[in-house]
Amino acid sequence: MGSQQKPCANNCGFFGTSEKRNLCSKCYKDLCLEEELAAMKSVLCSPAPPSPGTAGQSKPANRCGTCNKKVGLTGFACKCGSTFCGVHRYPEKHECTYDFKGEAREAISKANPVVKGDKVDRF
């Protein structure tokens, strides 16, 4: 028998054979070359192993703004933008620059809209 001749799968006009994936000898050669190149590329272009991590990633030390004690995750962030330990977390315990009085005034005026005492019941 022998191999059946079919038009080249590449539509190049020549006839291919089933042994050569239905390609003519020329297209088959090209395909082989391409596959070889692809294989070589996949080896050459394999992702490089990640370089050993840069040791000593320095995190910003979380310290109390007043006594400089390390507070880590237990630090209390004040509205003035600094972090403090449990002792110095209160605005009166550090030189707080946040305008709490102003905020309190605002909060009070918002929470208690001026009540018009038109009807005050007295007992």
Point out which residues bind Zn ion (CB under 5 A): 8, 10, 12, 14, 24, 27, 64, 66-67, 69, 78, 80, 85, 88, 91, 96
Nearer to Zn ion, 40 or 61 (CB): 61
40 or 95: CB nearest Zn ion: 95
Q: How far is the CB of 18 from Zn ion (least distance, A)?
A: 14
Closer residue to Zn ion (CB): 73 or 120? 73
The secondary structure of the chain as a DSSP string is --PPEEE-TT-SSSEEEGGGTTB-HHHHHHHHHHHHHHHHHHHHTSPPPPPPP-S--PPPP-B-TTT--B-GGG-EE-TTS-EE-TTT-SGGGTT--S-HHHHHHHHHHHHSPPP-TTS----
Tell me the CB-side half-sphere exposure of residue 90, using CA atoms within 13 A. 3
In the complex with Zn ion, the residue whose CB is nearer, 10 or 62, is 10
